[in-house]
Amino acid sequence: MEDVEAREVNWLWYPYIPFGKLTIVQGDPGEGKTTFILYLAALLTKGEALPCEETAERREPVNVIY
């Protein structure tokens, strides 16, 4: 572990989704995982705040590949 460098994590949606990292959404069939991810993608592409974000300012819209 002495060769591993610690890096600061940039957050897309703190503390749930780190920016530029792999995130897995897990759950039983029919629980709304796809609906949830598509909702987040829609908000991100429009530059709107994500659920429970304290800041009311708009973010820069981003591209999403699904």
Place of tokens 């069939």: 29
**To 10 degrees, the CA torsion angle through 32, 37, 42, 44?**
150
At 37, list the tokens: 């991810």
| Tens digit of each residue's pLDDT (9 = 90 or more) over 23-49 | 999 999 999 999 999 999 999 999 998
Residue spans of the domains in the chain: they are: 1-66
- Mean pLDDT computed over 9-24: 92
CA-based nearest residue to 62, from 15, 9, 7, 20: 20
